[in-house]
A and B are shown apart, each in its own frame.
Chain A
Amino acid sequence: MTEGKVLPLRRVHGTVDEMSDRALVSAVAQGDQAALGALYDRFHRDVYRFIAHLLCGDMQVDDLVQSTFIEAHRSAPRFRGESTVKTWLFGISANLTRHHQRSEARRKSAGDKLATVPLANPITPGEAITLEQQRRWLAAAVEMLSPALKEVYVLCVIEEVPGKEAAQVLGIREASLWRRLTDARTALRAAIEEMQS
């Protein structure tokens, strides 16, 4: 019963910060608001980056970060420690992002969606291929991936979550995960090649 009370707004010092990630989730499962604040402090940047990679420029990243931790608070009693806490949070984020993207897709027309995909600057003949250009192409190609392929690629490659854990948090079989990862790489290469032509 916390309504009307001043919530723990400040950083928690001492025991909560010293807890392991899993102990922190256990405390959250007990309804410990300070632990939830500490969990946020510890992981909100990772979650933000992960969602930002999935959404690519969407303005809703902040909202989804909030929702992720609120959902983590709700689901904490069910956390069984089969993955790391960070991966578990990524799983929650991925679900919420997927839901958000579905809602957005219903709202936007396909034309609008295409218009929002930022394309990399085309290469000019004779221009040397620098690492920075390659990065630009790859970033644009990642943005163009389908949501299903993008979440697998970001989770497994950029965030380096082990395949088994990634499959678990995404709710798919491990074999499907590897297949999607292969498809993602193929799609990325195709997009990059197209950008150069």
Chain B
Amino acid sequence: MSAAKWIPGDDELDGLARTLPAAEPATDRAEQNRTRMLAGAASVPQYTRSSWMPFVAAGLSLAAAAATIVWFVGRREESAGVAVTAPAARETIVASNGGRFDRVATWPDYQVRVHGGRVSFDVGPVHSSERFRVFTADSEIEVRGTRFIVEAEQDRLVMVLVEDGAVEIRLPVHEPVTVRAGERWSPPRTAQLDEVAPTPLASSDPAAAAPVVVPPAAPAVPSRKSPTKPKIATSVKESAEPTPRETTATTRKPAISVEPVTPTPVPVKPSEAEFRRGWMLLRAGDAGGASQAFAKACSDATADAREDACYWTGVAAKRAGKTTTARDSLAKFITSFPSSARAGEAAALLGWLLYDGGDLDGAERRFRTAANDRVPTVRESAERGLTAIEQRRKTP
């Protein structure tokens, strides 16, 4: 008997269309996308509300075109030991003591890359829609109208001395530091790129995690005056220690008479530092050490990353073969964060640990929880677990 043709009506068609399987984003991909989206959004200006925006955009386009022409013409002037003054004299950049710099972009987002030596800046008021930034390979300095001096060695920031106004210095890992008039600042040792810990991300796979925002990349060249081995920063105390390079920099005669002050960077919370250390150890293959570091971060009830830390305590312990710790940690995580996006994943993981340990009832309970997870791979894992339990129970 041949099948009758199916010619659906509108309602039947639409009703069936609503039951079509929908693609779901994988949890780890979603986390990476979230991270990249936030990083991308941070560098994208927002539209304004007003209706005259198209005219402003057209004006800005013209201005940008003109600025580009000026920039191309002006680039030829830049070299060591000379002063560069914009036609409107909004910024004056003077290189001395072998100062080398490049003007990367002009207004409205003025960017200067300092490679070495001493470079002085005198920048007029910067409007809210504009930026003036100075980069070295390992830092970014944001200006809001000021006079300051930047010293660098081999593309690394050595010292910032602010004569007037204030600048904000940003380094990987550390909180931004504001340096005000009369203050001199040198970077701590952990700010060096070859020692910087990767920013931890809330991804299910630490190896797949991407950095969020990094300063302009450069090869990690050890400082001439601190040829120490690359060492992972393991504590806040260590990061606050002055380096030989810093000492050298601060003994130079200041260009202004104000007593120099070295502001201390905002310290990272111990739990945050432990969390980062956990990631580094996990990436380095030391799952046992990572588990301990995550456990310390997890034990801080006020830690921002507590949820992630508690989850990774269990995962890292499992990777290290510490099944008892892994079981306890995952069970604790599920109890502490029942509504976590990773609760299902943790339940599946715990289910398999219990299954391996012969606790079939406990494993079944965990797999049944994981079977309702929204992530297909977690559900599949749970289904496999339940099937395996069923088969093992049938086996005498």
Please list the residues of chain A having a beta carbon within 8 angstroms of any beta carbon in chain B.
1-11, 29, 31, 33, 36-37, 40-41, 44-45, 48-49, 52-53, 61-62, 65-66, 69-70, 73-78, 123, 125-129, 131, 134-135, 137-139, 142, 153, 157-158, 160, 185, 188-189, 192-193, 196-197
Contact = CB atoms under 8 A, between A and B. Distances in A.
A138 B7 contact: no
B37 to A, nearest CB: 4
Contacts of B49: 77-78
Contacts of B47: 74-75, 77-78
Size category of the binding interface on chain B = 35 or more
B25 A45 contact: yes
B38 A8 contact: yes
Contact of A192 (B4, B8, B38): B8
Contacts of B39: 7
B276 to A, nearest CB: 10
27 contacts: A3-B140, A4-B213, A9-B35, A9-B199, A9-B200, A9-B202, A10-B202, A10-B305, A33-B38, A36-B37, A44-B33, A62-B25, A70-B40, A73-B46, A74-B44, A76-B46, A77-B46, A125-B2, A127-B3, A129-B3, A134-B8, A135-B16, A138-B16, A185-B13, A185-B14, A192-B7, A192-B8
B229 interface: no
Contacts, number: 166
A62 B26 CA distance: 10
Contact of B42 (A33, A41, A53, A129): A33
Nearest to B131: A1
Contacts of A37: 34, 38
B170 interface: yes
Contact of B17 (A5, A36, A52, A142): A142
B37 A69 contact: yes
Nearest to B268: A6
B46 A125 contact: no
A45 B24 contact: yes
